[in-house]
Structure 1
């Protein structure tokens, strides 16, 4: 499968640094994420920095598949049991996915995270949060956790453009984000950043610039996916009133290939397309064909004889 593939971090036809490749070569066994909802909120939801949250975000935050209101250990056991049906000997990453999982008092965070540090079947902890919600006190605790297990912080950024962040009600600036990266860089915490393609009023050039800019930062991983218009969100309501252009599958594939070309080849690509819940996803419906999208990206990269970082400087 590696034949004619010039990208070094690959065992197959993938011309980018996949999450599967990283997990296989780091842990030498099957590793999967178990998503969790710890009951946090966000500062742009509770009035600290605004109300309503990000315009594209649903009522369950970014963890649309997570069961809220259930004890964390019970959530984990249920998710682990589902994954073990497919991979009986696999190890889990406890993934605190919904909302902002460092937006609380230190003792609250310890109560959530510490039990998973003590579990032998948990190989790492992933914590989704915002760049403006990691105090020095919390950062010190996260670094301390790294002595026991791998700790990943997933920072939702979506775009490097402050005008886009303002329009989407993000509630923080790109400068706050880069400040957070600089602080995290001084610890043992691993950093993953999220970007969204197709946000209103962003051009192809802007989206490539976001990927190029973030892809040159001292981070470990990136997640990229297409904007999902979810029923019940403020952005979908706006779209219904005044539709704005959405990328086609073909346009998205071309864009992602161009983005990968300008990203540091040492950065892990954890995701290149997202999972939208059928009952909530209003558009674009082609995003449901996840395997097809990924296959098209592979085919396009091969046809162009390109790979992640080919144009990275």
Structure 2
């Protein structure tokens, strides 16, 4: 690794890219998903309730501009010199007609002090024409495409109703990185039916791919989801981690992870009123502090147990 930190940190990555402070502002642009509207299936992923990751200022009935305005107002009070990344977060943000998609991205980029886009999507929803647009845009602005992979096991992807395969995940990541676009990935650790070793093997798989950033999320059971009903009916098929168990799991995970992949986060935090379990009572920064303390105790380091050796992920220039 290039620095003395035990893992590649997202804040450091942003400081490498930008000469000023930047803040993501989440946007709900009113999209759906192909496994919700019948194209691939109905009902969405079994764990999914999108209220869990949409901030209060981010509502579908508001325009992209209105959502950015509210987000900027919130953050600029403390940091008047802050610049912003428009984060298209909820549902599948590349799943619409090309002209409609580009209009929403351009609306965001036209807002004062917005210096780039982060677009969350699925591996099976990245047409070549849209990659052409992002590739051209990335020559002028910061562009990151975040792919929700959730698992690298096809049997798990089928079980949670993702509607895509691991092969599609790998293809989308390679196609995107080949265009010199920053490429992110999401994984959920602890999905039902996956052993501890299978979870850690996700790190081996990702380490062979040109991934720029990685978000790790613990499995959370959310009210009103099919997965919550499954767990109530078959609790023996689920392992809900304690804080200490999960901390050791993520440290074992990053020790097997290519050291050039930026670790953006270890956990997600669902609204209290929607969360069934596990309820750790920790904010994200408190959990990260515990991880860092445990890393120090274990003398752990990202990539220490990297297997197999792999080429470094593509990190595009601006």
TM-score of the aligned structures, taking structure 1 as reference length: 0.92
Q: CA deviation at 1:245?
A: 2.1
- Quote the residue 1:253 is aligned against: 247
In structure 1, what is the Cα distance between the partners aligned to 2:294 and 2:112?
41
Partner of residue 206, structure 1: 198
Partners of 1:274 and 1:61 lie apart in 2 by: 9
What residue is the counterpart of 1:112 in the other structure? Answer: 104
Distance in 1 (CA, whole Å) between partners of 2:254 and 2:224 is 32
Between the aligned partners of 1:156 and 1:268, the Cα distance in structure 2 is 16
Alignment CA distance shift 1:236-1:211 (3 Å): same
For structure 2, which runs of at least 5 residues remain unmatched after alignment? Answer: 310-318
Q: Which of residues 48, 62, 76 in structure 2 aligns to 1:57?
A: 48
How many residue pairs match? The answer is 304
Instruction: Structure 1: give runs of 5+ residues left out of the alignment.
Output: 1-6
Deviation at 1:64, TM superposition (A): 6.1
Structure 1 residue 61: deviation in Å? Answer: 7.5
Q: Does 1:22 align with 2:13?
A: yes
Calculate the TM-score normalised by the size of structure 2: 0.91
CA distance in 2, matches of 1:183, 1:76: 30
The answer to whether residue 295 in structure 2 is matched with residue 304 in structure 1 is: no
SS of residue in 1 equivalent to 2:180: coil
Are the equivalent residues in 1 in contact too, given 2:174–2:209 (CA < 8 A)?
no
Determine which of 53, 73, 76 is the counterpart of 2:65.
73
Aligned to 1:101: 93
Distance change >3 Å, CA 59–CA 185, structure 1 → 2: closer
Counterparts of 1:165 and 1:288 in 2: how far apart (Å)? 29
Match of 1:141 among 133, 146, 151: 133
Equivalent residue number for residue 4 of structure 1: none
Q: Alignment partner for residue 182 of structure 2, among 187, 190, 212?
A: 190
Counterpart among 277, 280, 283 of residue 283 in structure 1: 277
The answer as to whether partners of 2:31 and 2:93 remain within 8 angstroms in 1 is yes
Return the alpha-carbon distance in structure 2 between the equivalents of residues 262 and 301 of structure 1.
14
Instruction: Say which of 25, 31, 54 aligns to 1:34.
Output: 25
Look up the SS of the partner of 2:199 in the other structure. helix
Say if 1:152 and 1:189, in contact at 8 Å, map to a contact too. yes
RMSD: 1.6
What's the offset of the Cα at 1:127?
A: 0.2
Paired residues of 1:276 and 1:287 also in contact (CA < 8 A): no
Q: Is the 8 A contact 1:9 1:21 kept in 2?
A: no
1:274 is aligned to 2:272: no
